[in-house]
Amino acid sequence: MINKKSLWFLTLFSLILVLSVYYITMPSELLITKNKKNDEVAKVNKTVDKEASVEIEESEILTALRVEADEQMKQDMEDLQIVLTSVEATSNEKNEAYEKLQLLNMTRGEEEKLEKKIETKFKLKSFVKIDGDQIRVVASSDKHDTALANDIMRSIQEEYKTKKYISVKFQK
DSSP 20-51: HHHHHHHHHHHHHHHHHHHHHHHHHHHHH-SS
Query: Each residue of 133-151: pLDDT tens digit?
Result: 999 999 988 888 899 999 9
Averaged confidence pLDDT in the chain = 81
E strand or H helix that includes residue 137: strand 134-140
Cβ-Cβ contacts under 8 Å for 20 (sequence gap 6 or more): 98
Query: Each residue of 84-105: pLDDT tens digit?
Result: 888 888 889 989 989 999 999 9
Instruction: Render each residue's pLDDT in the chain as its tens digit; 172 residues.
Output: 678 888 888 888 888 888 777 777 765 555 555 555 555 555 555 554 444 444 445 568 888 888 898 899 899 989 988 888 888 888 899 899 899 999 999 999 999 999 999 999 999 899 999 998 999 999 988 888 899 999 999 999 999 999 999 999 988 7
